[in-house]
Amino acid sequence: MQRLFTTFANEWPGFGLLVQRLLIGITLICPTIAMLNRSPSPAHIALHIVGAIFGLLILLGFWTPIAGALSAAVELWIAFATDGDPWVPILLAVFSGTLAIIGPGAWSIDAWLFGRKRIPT
């Protein structure tokens, strides 16, 4: 499992990853909630709901490499398959992809579950 995750950065780099996770997660979840009030096509809603689920995982820092990569794929699909401004989904795809590569940081569920453990001697 250690190979799936990069180092869990702490201190200032870890804080930067926490801020990046918070911004990506909130930006993936909020438009979905606003979209449910407008009632667009079911396929459009489904894409955004899947993106919001990945946004929640990213927000919590749980399965971050997997959620980041899949979120990037969904956002690119949204950017090129739906009408509207494609730049926000492309930007979210880039940030989600970088988060998948860098890792979640020390302040995440992934670090708590899969991080290095101190074994008392």
In a domain, 42, yes or no: yes
In a domain, 37, yes or no: yes
CB atoms near residue 68 (< 10 Å)? 26
In a domain, 2, yes or no: no
In a domain, 4, yes or no: no
Whether residue 6 is predicted with pLDDT greater than 60 in this model: the reply is no
In a domain, 1, yes or no: no
pTM: 0.82
In a domain, 57, yes or no: yes
Give the range of the structural domain holding residue 37, as residue numbers without chain letter: 9-111
* Confidence band, pLDDT 50/70/90 cuts, at residue 33: confident
Mean pLDDT of the chain: 85
Total tally of structural domains belonging to the chain: 1
* Confidence band, pLDDT 50/70/90 cuts, at residue 7: low
List, for residues 83-119, the tens digit of each pLDDT value. Answer: 888 999 999 999 999 999 988 888 888 878 877 667 7
In a domain, 67, yes or no: yes
In a domain, 121, yes or no: no
CA distances from 16 to 36, 40, 46, 64, 113 (A): 31, 35, 31, 15, 20
Whether residue 53 is predicted with pLDDT greater than 90 in this model: the reply is yes
- As to burial, measured by CB atoms within 10 angstroms (0-12 exposed, 13-18 middle, 19+ buried), residue 8 is buried
Confidence (pLDDT) at 28:
92
Confidence (pLDDT) at 23:
94
Q: What is the DSSP string of 74-99?
A: HHHHHHHHSSS--HHHHHHHHHHHHH
Whether residue 1 is predicted with pLDDT greater than 60 in this model: the reply is no
- ∠ CA 95-108-100, rounded to 5°: 30
